[in-house]
Structure 1
Amino acid sequence: MSWVMANVVQRRSIRSFTARTQVHAGDLADRAALLKKKRREVQYLPHFDTTFFWHGSCLYFVSRSLDSFHTSMSDPSYDGIGGEELTLGCLGWSTEPIKRLIQTCEEYADRQTEFFVIIYARDRYGMSWQPKARKPIRRVDTVHFDDGLKQALLTDMRKYLDPSTKRLYQSRSMPYRRGYLFFGPPGTGKSSLSTALAGEFGLDLYEVKIPCVASDQDLEQMFQEIPPQCIVLLEDVDAIWTDRDSKKDEQAISRSSCTLSGLLGVLDGVGSAEGRIVIMTTNKPDRLDSALVRPGRVDMKVMLGNISRKSAEQMFVRMFTPDIESSPLVVKERSDATRPDDESISPESDALQELALEFSSHIPDDTFTPSQLQGFFQLHLNSASEAVANISNWVERELSKSLLDDDISVVSEGKTS
């Protein structure tokens, strides 16, 4: 009926509609289910007994049994699922056109659905996992780092989650686990990438902040309660063995009561579960023990560094594309053979590409984090031209501020010594 509303009613003058809210079973009982869905909204459907329409080369008809619908709505046990009889038919000797139309309607419904990533964290007493937040699915393309490394990461994770991979691991008596290390300066998108990957593969995200875990026993209990099919995000893993560092650095590091052996035990010890994806993040990869990052515990290392000019160009296009769903996230490669009046590029997108190229020319490579650049865009979201006009001054101010911070750091270290 939603597909009919969008594809048939627009061409007809139907003036009567049935309004209803959609209620799904389990919504009131499961808090996590509530977080995964957007709010219930009123749905308006065309009110008719029978209507005919053309789709492709077939003439279809849809008949509604409105009595069955009204009967369901008046039933106190009605859970909002189904409850209405539809008869769909077409002229011809085969039911294949009807099956294709139903598939078209299903695909249409999937595109209208809004999905969220559920992020779990320990409750305030550290006793149990609770869904703390839901976030709209974020496309991996919106996390800016090396495109080749990004595709390699997606390919590796997709291959691991393939059911055939699990069967292969089991047939070879290999532990079915996968670990990743995301490292780089603060603000480069390590946590954002983890959330985007959870949305990309339809997985829940369990967040473990290593500096906040009280003991090895608490860490073990947390992992025992994590389901197998999910992503576990271990943040700031460098904090777990700070007692190995020199005394002069201790004051600048968040300490944890967990030990390295405790962490290794929950990752791949005798009682550790299989099937999870573990993502560890750190700002200080040089502090990590070699036992933690060996193959089998960390299967792939992903560096998220400061933004490049190409990524800055991509970010500009994403920020100012009018229709975000059709945003050309990967900026087209330019060459001398590319003509300004290329028919494959609309005037609007061509102008946007030119502005993006000019904008990125002011961004020095490997200097600013993506979060810094995003902060700039937040001030100029209403005008792409204004963003281009102001980026040069912003870069100068940020570079001056960085030099000042470095000078203050040097003076402070001199006083300390």
Structure 2
Amino acid sequence: MARPFHVGVTASHRFLDPSMHGLDFLRELIGHWVSGLDITRLGSLAACVGAAPAAWRFLRTAWHETYGWVRQFFISSVTIPGHDPLNRHVTNWVVTNVIQFRSIRSFTARTQVQAGAATDRAALLKKTRRDIQYLPHFESTWFWHEGNLFLIRRPLDGFKASMANSAYDGVGGEELTIGCLGRSTEPIKRLIQTCQEYADKQAQYFVLIYSRYRMSWQPKSRKPIRRLETVHFDDKLKQELLADIRKYLDPNTKRLYNLRSMPYRRGYLFYGPPGTGKSSLSTALAGEFGLDLYEVKIPSVATDQDLEQMFQEVPPQCIVLLEDIDAIWTKRESTNHERHGEAITNCTLSGLLNVLDGVGSPEGRIVIMTTNKLSRLDSALVRPGRVDMKILLGNISRKSAEQMFLRMFAPDVDYLALPSSKKDTVKIGESQHVQMDHERLLRLASEFSTQIPEDTFTPSQLQGFFQLHLDNPTEAALSISAWVERQLSGLSSDDEIEIVGNGHAR
């Protein structure tokens, strides 16, 4: 009789057999695996795992001790405080020239907030998707520069604190420590000089505007340089203003001031109706002369002490813009005007005069004050020495309206600066396939300006009109007459809307 044929079934075969997938099989498999372990080896493995944290603490402590010893004897360093302009220059250079070429795996993501959006309630209510801003993390980074090894440390605690400010753009908000292998700080100074030169090249096309936030000056926005041709007022007065500022910024002028023991300061007053370009002119001047703009809104300053602190922290060569200077009143006047809902401030006239030319007031800066109500300013505030030149920015003239028309319909090139031989080649209104030569554009500009009454409309009102006809100069020239009639008759609210919509052009 033949003996039955048996096939040996191992644990691996039974694992593949669906009929064996049960608890009994799992217990058998685990028991078989445990029975094969050496208890001595298992104990050794557990001991190693238990000792790992202690070994890691020891290695970490040894590393910090070794690094501290090396840093003390072999590394020189320079520390730059947070929110200092130099801090921003160095961080920008490192992010651009070092960080972006490495594999960064840690970012902070947040919604991109446009300038002014925080105060624009209508913008916050819009159901539109906003851009996302990714800010790279780096607590420390090593790099070589000009044959020297550098280490830059940036504590992330300061980075997280800066993120609470909606105006913070991820650059220059935390303390930086620059270390260099060696006992001399000269390589670090050369690196900082390189960062400053890089910042100067980047800033030649932009104006950096600073505002006060949590008791310190911080960058509010970076705007493209605005040409002075875009601010329309008397050409002769404009040239006189440029010549005066240019002379003041001349190093020889500063030397003469010092030799004659004169305070090296310069003050200007821009006055006129709202919407005539007072703030725009200040921004254009900052771009023209390569200066930063420090913005002070007088109604938002709480006390004289706050105003003094703000001026003490302003760098020597910049433009300080004091907006709505007429908000400073005496106590008696404040009581009267509060009832009318007008903006006032707790700052006093004496406090303002003290920061402008008091004994301890800083020198070297340009102060520009703006007001819509010249008659309300105290004579002590506008005397020579505090206000060296008064600039009236009034309603637009026909000549300025013609210049604005030419500028509006040649947006992609510096049309007014082109030679006559090349102006004929410029295409106007290409989006509507309308090609216009230079002569026809001049005729339209002339026809347009004849419809504008002298000294009646502000530049911001006229700019609001152009926004409706940016693609078609012919349509703009044909529509201006009806627009002027509506404005003069007072039957339309366009005037009010345009002033609000262009409130930046004060």
Cα distance in 1 between the residues matched to 2:87 and 2:202: 22
Aligned to 1:12: none
Cα distance in 2 between the residues matched to 1:36 and 1:368: 43
Shift of 1:77: 1.9
Instruction: Map 1:103-252 onto structure 2 (within 5 A).
Output: 115-123=205-213, 125=214, 127-241=215-329, 243-245=331-333, 249-250=337-338, 251-252=340-341
Cα distance in 2 between the residues matched to 1:31 and 1:136: 22
Give the secondary-structure state (helix, strand or coil) at the position aligned to 2:268.
strand
Cα distance in 1 between the residues matched to 2:370 and 2:202: 34
- Structure 2 letter corresponding to 1:178: R
Match of 1:384 among 449, 470, 473: 473
Cα distance in 2 between the residues matched to 1:139 and 1:358: 25
Could you tell me which runs of 5 or more consecutive residues in structure 2 were left unpaired when the two chains were aligned: 1-79, 98-140, 147-199, 425-435, 496-506
CA shift in 2, pair 1:376/1:287, >3 Å? same
Cα distance in 1 between the residues matched to 2:326 and 2:380: 13
Deviation by residue 1:182-229 (Cα, 9 ceiling, x = unmatched): 000000000000000000000000001111100000001111100110
- Structure 2 letter corresponding to 1:121: S
Contact 2:267 2:389 in 1 (8 A): yes
CA shift in 2, pair 1:111/1:234, >3 Å? closer
Structure number with larger C-alpha Rg: 2
Aligned to 1:316: 405
Give the secondary-structure state (helix, strand or coil) at the position aligned to 1:154.
helix
Aligned to 2:433: none
Cα distance in 1 between the residues matched to 2:479 and 2:91: 39
Cα distance in 1 between the residues matched to 2:267 and 2:438: 40
Deviation by residue 1:73-116 (Cα, 9 ceiling, x = unmatched): xx972579xxxxxxxxxxxxxxxxxxxxxxxxxxxxx9998611
Shift of 1:375: 0.6
Deviation by residue 1:29-84 (Cα, 9 ceiling, x = unmatched): 967549999x979xxxxxxxxxxxxxxxxxxxxxxxxxxxxxxxxx972579xxxx
Contact 2:327 2:344 in 1 (8 A): yes
1:254 aligns with 2:322: no
Aligned to 2:35: none
- Structure 2 letter corresponding to 1:115: Y
1:296 aligns with 2:385: yes
Aligned to 1:64: none
Give the secondary-structure state (helix, strand or coil) at the position aligned to 1:241.
coil
Aligned to 1:77: 143
- Structure 2 letter corresponding to 1:302: I
Could you tell me which runs of 5 or more consecutive residues in structure 1 were left unpaired when the two chains were aligned: 1-25, 42-74, 81-109, 333-341, 407-417
Aligned to 1:20: none
Aligned to 1:69: none
Cα distance in 2 between the residues matched to 1:391 and 1:34: 51
- Structure 2 letter corresponding to 1:191: S
Give the secondary-structure state (helix, strand or coil) at the position aligned to 2:355.
helix
Cα distance in 2 between the residues matched to 1:189 and 1:322: 19
Cα distance in 1 between the residues matched to 2:367 and 2:462: 29
Contact 1:36 1:116 in 2 (8 A): no
Deviation by residue 1:372-403 (Cα, 9 ceiling, x = unmatched): 00011111000100111111111111112289
Give the secondary-structure state (helix, strand or coil) at the position aligned to 2:437.
helix
- Structure 1 letter corresponding to 2:364: G
Contact 2:272 2:392 in 1 (8 A): yes
Aligned to 1:22: none
Cα distance in 2 between the residues matched to 1:323 and 1:404: 31
Shift of 1:273: 0.7
1:283 aligns with 2:349: no
Give the secondary-structure state (helix, strand or coil) at the position aligned to 1:77.
strand
Cα distance in 1 between the residues matched to 2:272 and 2:459: 12
CA shift in 2, pair 1:33/1:313, >3 Å? farther
Aligned to 1:364: 453
Shift of 1:243: 3.5
CA shift in 2, pair 1:343/1:204, >3 Å? closer
Deviation by residue 1:255-285 (Cα, 9 ceiling, x = unmatched): 1100000000001000001100000000001
Deviation by residue 1:290-313 (Cα, 9 ceiling, x = unmatched): 000000000000000000000000
Cα distance in 2 between the residues matched to 1:299 and 1:354: 40
Instruction: Map 1:11-30 onto structure 2 (within 5 A).
Output: none
Give the secondary-structure state (helix, strand or coil) at the position aligned to 2:243.
helix
Give the secondary-structure state (helix, strand or coil) at the position aligned to 2:281.
helix
Contact 2:276 2:459 in 1 (8 A): yes
Give the secondary-structure state (helix, strand or coil) at the position aligned to 2:316.
coil
Bigger CA drift: 367-376 or 391-400?
A: 391-400
Contact 1:233 1:278 in 2 (8 A): yes
Aligned to 2:352: 263
Task: State the TM-score, normalized to the length of structure 1.
Answer: 0.66
Deviation by residue 1:232-259 (Cα, 9 ceiling, x = unmatched): 0000111111545386544242111000
- Structure 1 letter corresponding to 2:224: P
Cα distance in 2 between the residues matched to 1:35 and 1:354: 52
Shift of 1:350: 1.6
Cα distance in 2 between the residues matched to 1:111 and 1:320: 30
Instruction: Map 1:335-350 onto structure 2 (within 5 A).
Output: 346=424, 348-350=437-439
Bigger CA drift: 138-147 or 247-256?
A: 247-256
Cα distance in 2 between the residues matched to 1:384 and 1:40: 42
Contact 1:242 1:255 in 2 (8 A): no
